[in-house]
Structure 1
Amino acid sequence: MNIHKILAPAGLAILLTGLTSEIFLNNMPTEQKHVVSDTLYEDLTEAQKRSPKYAAAALEVTDGLKATLFAAEPMVTNPTNIDVDHLGRVWVCEAYNYRPAINGNPTKNEGDRILILEDSNADGKADKSMLFYQGKEINSPLGIWVMGNRVVVSQSPFVWLFTDVDHDGKADKKEIIFEGIGGEQHDHGMHAFTFGPDGKFYFNFGNAGGQLLDGNGKPVTGQDNQPIDFGRYKQGMVFRCDQDFKNIEVLGNNFRNNYEVAVDSYGTMWQSDNDDDGNRGVRINYVMQYGNYGYTDELTGAGWRANRTNMEDSIPFRHWHLNDPGVVPNLLQTGSGSPTGMIVYEGTLLPQFRDQMIHCEAGHNVVRSYPTKKSGAGYTATISNIVDGKRDQWFRPSDVCVAPDGSLIVSDWYDPGVGGHQAADQSRGRLFRIAPAGVSYRTPETDLTTASGAVNGLQSPNISVRYHAWNALLKMADKALPEVRKLFSSHENPRMRARALGSFLY
């Protein structure tokens, strides 16, 4: 007897392939849905597997944590990059209009969207969506950084600054901060900005960036007063600048497609870098300031395939010129993949990942952490999976951020592929929240009008809260010093002491 058949009273046989699983999942306690067995999940139909209804059930999450669906289509589609603001709202860059000339997909004439998603009842699901901006000039953006009512959107060849003048959740003003960065929609161009403990902004671009021009089309100069371009530097670069986007420094160069730089409380920089596809050379870098990272020959610019003295004995190492004098060693080589967004987790809600890089690897359908250990002048690292989407290989994590409560928000491009000039699905996209089961999504209140409140905000796991707190302390100047000194002298966590030091040194 086929166990997937039953006889109805009328004697009709009803096929239940997939339905058995659906009934089971629908009646399963919510806290258990993230541990559905492989067998049960595989019984779902392809249509069911693609449905947001089973999106969280497809993910295997490390012990002690749970993945819940924060938002999905039609609320959001094709998310490339996200940020979580000081209020716990999730800002999303969408890329519906990705590479239509190559993949032949339809486009929206009104352009791509920047969305604000809000969970107003603390149930861990977005129930409000606001359109911050949509315009034809927003064309597959790859980075977003939210500073209260000002928002930086990275979209090669431009970096845009939007301002919500009247604080109604909609952009009223837009201006170009940088331009001339790579070609339109180039995946190897400008990526996201972030905030460092020194009060400066950090950002990067890949090996198609080429140069930095200001909003008037004039070359931007670096710390040596020379134009920032491929004549002075090579390939992908990492930058630091003041909050007015002036005083640009090049902090590292000669990467291929360094997707997003993450900065910890000591000011240490970390990022991933994608290899020439198919050469198993994807890497994670500790970014030593002013280092050369070896994608091409430092002197001649020759590619890694060119014959040379002391040539490395395997392609993954040869790929980065690792035997060349002066090339900074890789922290970790992860092989194949399509690395995307990264953060450093310094919260307390997920203690097993505290002080670790957390990284999205879209090519392998996984969100990972990289625990590090000191080693000489650098570090060594290992890999630990947090979220594994191998059961649904459309799971393509594109970015990860830390919310003010310490939970993770992960964006999912959700597609059979990982970009690379192609998009097989334009109608789907998801956001997930990663947290211990039963922990509601609540944003702690922060009073930035007092020195003690601002110092408390400086200790937030969320970068946007820290940005506001840092600037509040700067405005208070000497009045804030007693509270800042107290944090520096008495906190048991050296990273919090480092934040205090950064706030009053600058």
Structure 2
Amino acid sequence: MIRVVLCTIAITTPFLAAEDWQPSKPAESVPAVRFKVPDDLEVTVWASTPQLFNPTNVDVDAKGRLWVTEGVNYRRHNGRRPDGDRVVVLEDTNGDGKADTSHTFVQEKGLIAPLGIAVFDNKIVVSQPPDIIVYTDVNRDLKFDPAVDKREVLLTGFNAVNHDHSLHSVTAGPDGKWYINNGNCGAVFTDKSGKTFRMAGDYYKNGGGEWPVDTQKELGKKSDDGHVWTPGFTARMNPDGTNVEIVGHGYRNSYENCENSLGEIFQNDNDDPPACRTSYILEYGSAGYFTREGRSYNSVKRASYSKNPTVSTVMPVSDWGRTHWRQDDPGTFDIGDLYGGGSPTGVAFYENGVLGKKYAGTLLSCEAARNVIFGYQPEPVGAGYKLDRTDFMTSNTTGEFSGADYTGGVKKQGDDKVLFRPSDVVVGPDGVLYVTDWYDPRVGGHGDMDDSCSGTIYRIAPKGYKPKIQPVDLSTIPGSIAALKSPANNIRWTGFDSLQKKGAAAFDAVLAVTKDSDPWIAARGVWLLPHLGPQGVAACEKLLESSDTRMRLVAFRALRRTAKDIIPYSKKLAGDSSPAIRRDVALSLRDLPAEKITPILVQVAKGWDGKDKNYLESIGLAAAEQENAVWTGMRDALGQTQPLKWSDNFAKLTWRLWPSQAVTALKERASSTALTKEQRALAVESLSFIDDRSAADALLTLADDKSPSKADAMKWLLVRGTGAWAKFNLKDDLKKRGIYDPDKIELTEVTVPAKPEKLNFTPDDVLKLTGDATKGKATAMRCVMCHQIGDAGPHYAPDLKGWVARQGANMAARSIVDPSADIAHGFEGTAIQLKDGKWIDGLVTTTGDPTVITSTGGVTQTVPKNRIASTKHMDRSLMLSADQLGLTAQDVADVIAWLKTYN
């Protein structure tokens, strides 16, 4: 498995020398010749077991040495290596492009598959929940000796121990900050400035492991910065652990993030099976895995509207992926590249080096379940980025995947193309790429299968390239400039840190960097200017007038990190031609007084095209915790004082700001037949996201028989009245209006037939046949009781569009013939036993009171808590087998033939 992040309690075990442990089986790896990369590049093996075992994360130092965290003691194998896991250092001492030495830097019993490692000169940062540990190699001998070297816990309080959704790697930003990344296990931690952050959601004690931090006690509470945050999250801080800021939140299990020289942050995020994605992080924004309240996730967002309001569960959405990340809700940032099932891991951003300008600006994202490293060239579009995906490096060009949660966990032991499990990718000091592979037939599922603990590091470089590592001397300004220009992210940080400490003496050299012909290198110099005295600040201010949009953007960001008063700069750029800069202007105003920021936000709002989700979200994030004051000020300044004459843009702005001051106006709009049906529906939806009793009362009024918005109001009252608005005790009002009366609900028994004791034919029988796609299309309509095909069928089972292209014919045959053999993650069934003895089998989409469950045929029922005797997980699939559907082997072959074309 590769999505590891396991871990332990604070470690007191002394340093241990490398032990005699060896795996129980011989090492294995995927041959370099199996990989496909761009034609001008080649893949070679740089290191392999026994030089390292089960690599979880990697970083590189200025001399080209690779530092790797290992995960031998992962999950059920905790204790397999009795002396604990290690950080190992590997080096190519003779320059032939292969590692020839490997040794242990540190090994401790408390290290259990630590996920993250970052190297900042002689400071080695290891992510080991609940701690971020910093080892300082004082004598620089590459071996941790507690008698000489220093070990400290920088921050602590990250859930959970021996879990995959916990603390991930530390990375450096171009601003001199350190960035941390944590999955949705959450955290409660206090920074070195004394501020406590409460990252709490409903995901608690899920997926095994130990949970030393009781995040549930902090659910819904504000952190000391005045905001309510949800897990997973990204945070930035000073390297000494002070002044933590939450940068983004609402992730499921983002494995890693990377910061480029413009200050843009990218990440991948896992949610199997429907919704893995690669995305740009909008500062302060929510990715949408948790709701605003932090009390619901994943399945609660899955179902769609029903015509019957008594079985409605969530808001209408355009597709499942958007629902999963709540893309049509106010309060989430744009989705990025949503590619479906997977298990994303390490990321890196390539800017300069020996690969050449062709690859400058390439975002690389490891996808372990798909045996690939995706490549993107992020293209600025409005306030976000367009992310077109390519396969940069892959061992699997057939698209037949196995061993992942989204493939049902099926493992192909003998096919090495699917055993490549890239855990991380890093850029070397000369610009070559290094990829760590955790070789295993299984990925995800909190487990691994490879008893050889094999690991390999592959190098991607121009064909025939020999290493050329230039020395770095941080004691001098030229040496520090060389480090700042390094292709390697964390080496660049050492240059930044050194030049910042040199202050005004470094100004001339840094100013020269800002004029470098390479725009990525030039941007790195801009970040330093405000740290180099008054002349540096003045030079940075001058760049606000640059004709280069990227230089204006970076200059504004650099000033924002250092200026005591950002308002003058924000006023200057509020009407900038670039929507990306106007977005940043809005974000810069967060937590400043409403009377100061509202006029600037008015100017920013005038530049909105009415469509850009990230742009609108930036305005909402700027107004956080003072939405009423900002909204009323913007309403008056924009001339939107008559509710029935609002512009569509202002109506959507109101939707995002969720101001209680707008309740009366929204109620008027929802009641008016002078507006279109769509305008009334948006008014009702806007009311539903306002966390105030007055909004609930307005919807109750709109649920009256005479209201043109009755149907929409009833649907939203069920959603909110039994969810986020349950605190308003609306049960009697819901009952009175016939929206939700648990005593009158009639429940229908729906059970899934038991799995046949014997199959009439096997998947192999199907694969021997030639299918007829035309017949298969007609035959496939038998599947619409569970699957949506075209406009027919419910969103109950996995989406069939592109399914065979993703999974391959073998997997398709197995899933249709015997769906209970391997149940896709996220589609495990639940059996509800009612107190009257009836059973309802299906997919639970909302837990609590009521529980909402969808059964075969898309039948969705709302089950009051007081009617439930018990619930249990089903030991079989909710999908009927081919035999149960009356399909022959030829029928299945025909269906698969058609599904190959259904993309």
Partners of 1:250 and 1:256 lie apart in 2 by 16
Is the 8 Å Cα contact of residues 405 and 443 (structure 1) preserved in structure 2? yes
1:178: Cα distance to partner? 2.0
Greater percentage in helix: 2
Post-superposition Cα deviations, 1:376-396, rounded to whole Å, max 9, x if no partner, equal: 111111112121112621100
Is the 8 Å Cα contact of residues 158 and 180 (structure 1) preserved in structure 2? yes
Aligned to 1:295: 289
Partners of 1:105 and 1:473 lie apart in 2 by 43
Instruction: Report the residue type matching 2:245 in the other structure.
Output: E
Post-superposition Cα deviations, 1:105-142, rounded to whole Å, max 9, x if no partner, equal: 76111000100000001111110112100010111100
Counterpart among 157, 170, 173 of residue 150 in structure 2: 173
Is the 8 Å Cα contact of residues 484 and 491 (structure 2) preserved in structure 1? yes
Counterpart among 392, 399, 411 of residue 417 in structure 2: 392
1:382 aligns with 2:388: yes
Any gaps of 5 or more consecutive residues in structure 2? 1-24, 199-220, 301-311, 397-415, 532-903
Counterparts in 2 of 1:266-285, with a 5 A limit? 266-275=262-271, 277-278=272-273, 280-285=274-279
Partners of 1:135 and 1:450 lie apart in 2 by 36
1:243: Cα distance to partner? 1.2
Counterparts in 2 of 1:35-74, with a 5 A limit? 51-52=28-29, 55-74=31-50
Aligned to 1:487: 513
1:304: Cα distance to partner? 4.0
Instruction: Report the residue type matching 1:454 in the other structure.
Output: S
SS at match of 1:121: coil
Partners of 2:121 and 2:237 lie apart in 1 by 19
1:504 aligns with 2:526: no
SS at match of 2:499: helix
Moved more, 451-460 or 185-194: 451-460
1:321: Cα distance to partner? 0.7
Is the 8 Å Cα contact of residues 62 and 471 (structure 2) preserved in structure 1? no
Counterparts in 2 of 1:103-502, with a 5 A limit? 107-171=80-144, 172-213=149-190, 220-221=196-197, 227=223, 232-275=228-271, 277-278=272-273, 280-299=274-293, 301-306=295-300, 310-351=315-356, 352-390=358-396, 392-427=417-452, 428-488=454-514, 490-502=515-527
Post-superposition Cα deviations, 1:243-282, rounded to whole Å, max 9, x if no partner, equal: 111100001111110111100001110000101x22x200
Is the 8 Å Cα contact of residues 154 and 240 (structure 2) preserved in structure 1? no
SS at match of 2:99: coil
Partners of 1:367 and 1:121 lie apart in 2 by 29
Greater percentage in strand: 1
1:302: Cα distance to partner? 2.2
Is the 8 Å Cα contact of residues 155 and 241 (structure 2) preserved in structure 1? no
1:500: Cα distance to partner? 0.4
CA RMSD across the alignment: 2.4
1:90: Cα distance to partner? 0.3
SS at match of 1:124: coil
Moved more, 443-452 or 137-146: 443-452
Partners of 2:458 and 2:226 lie apart in 1 by 39
1:420: Cα distance to partner? 2.9
Post-superposition Cα deviations, 1:160-182, rounded to whole Å, max 9, x if no partner, equal: 11121221111233222222211
Is the 8 Å Cα contact of residues 195 and 201 (structure 1) preserved in structure 2? yes
Partners of 2:119 and 2:74 lie apart in 1 by 23
Moved more, 168-177 or 61-70: 168-177
Larger RCO: Structure 1 or Structure 2 (Cα < 8 Å, ≥ 6 residues apart)? Answer: 1
Post-superposition Cα deviations, 1:346-384, rounded to whole Å, max 9, x if no partner, equal: 113223321111111001001121112121111111112
Is the 8 Å Cα contact of residues 223 and 229 (structure 2) preserved in structure 1? no
Report the TM-score when normalising by structure 2. Answer: 0.48
SS at match of 2:188: coil
Post-superposition Cα deviations, 1:394-433, rounded to whole Å, max 9, x if no partner, equal: 1000000000010001000111112431110142110010
Is the 8 Å Cα contact of residues 78 and 426 (structure 1) preserved in structure 2? no
Moved more, 133-142 or 418-427: 418-427
Structure ID, larger Rg: 2
Partners of 1:229 and 1:321 lie apart in 2 by 25
Give the number of equivalent residue pairs.
Answer: 449
Q: Pick closer, same or farther for the CA change 1:89–1:301 going to 2, 3 Å.
A: same
1:197: Cα distance to partner? 0.9
Any gaps of 5 or more consecutive residues in structure 1? 1-46
Aligned to 1:3: none
Post-superposition Cα deviations, 1:37-93, rounded to whole Å, max 9, x if no partner, equal: xxxxxxxxxx99x744x6212222221111110111111110000001111000000
Partners of 1:294 and 1:464 lie apart in 2 by 30
SS at match of 1:501: helix
Aligned to 2:670: none
Post-superposition Cα deviations, 1:419-458, rounded to whole Å, max 9, x if no partner, equal: 4311101421100100011111231123333323322321
Is the 8 Å Cα contact of residues 75 and 163 (structure 2) preserved in structure 1? no
Is the 8 Å Cα contact of residues 408 and 434 (structure 1) preserved in structure 2? yes
1:213: Cα distance to partner? 4.3
Instruction: Report the residue type matching 2:42 in the other structure.
Output: K
Partners of 1:320 and 1:348 lie apart in 2 by 36
Aligned to 2:703: none
Instruction: Report the residue type matching 1:447 in the other structure.
Output: D
Is the 8 Å Cα contact of residues 362 and 397 (structure 1) preserved in structure 2? yes
1:485: Cα distance to partner? 0.9
Report the TM-score when normalising by structure 1. Answer: 0.84
Is the 8 Å Cα contact of residues 405 and 441 (structure 1) preserved in structure 2? yes
Moved more, 446-455 or 234-243: 446-455
Is the 8 Å Cα contact of residues 222 and 229 (structure 2) preserved in structure 1? no
Is the 8 Å Cα contact of residues 234 and 301 (structure 1) preserved in structure 2? no
Partners of 2:444 and 2:68 lie apart in 1 by 17
Aligned to 2:742: none
Aligned to 1:4: none
SS at match of 2:126: strand
Moved more, 386-395 or 84-93: 386-395
1:226: Cα distance to partner? 5.6
Partners of 1:377 and 1:359 lie apart in 2 by 22
Q: Pick closer, same or farther for the CA change 1:450–1:213 going to 2, 3 Å.
A: closer
Moved more, 452-461 or 335-344: 452-461
SS at match of 2:442: coil
Aligned to 1:10: none
Q: Pick closer, same or farther for the CA change 1:422–1:231 going to 2, 3 Å.
A: farther
Partners of 2:471 and 2:55 lie apart in 1 by 28
1:328: Cα distance to partner? 0.6
Is the 8 Å Cα contact of residues 210 and 230 (structure 1) preserved in structure 2? no
1:212: Cα distance to partner? 2.2
SS at match of 2:196: coil
Is the 8 Å Cα contact of residues 62 and 385 (structure 1) preserved in structure 2? no
Partners of 1:61 and 1:293 lie apart in 2 by 31
Moved more, 478-487 or 292-301: 292-301
SS at match of 2:338: strand
- Could you tell me the percent identity over the aligned residues? 37
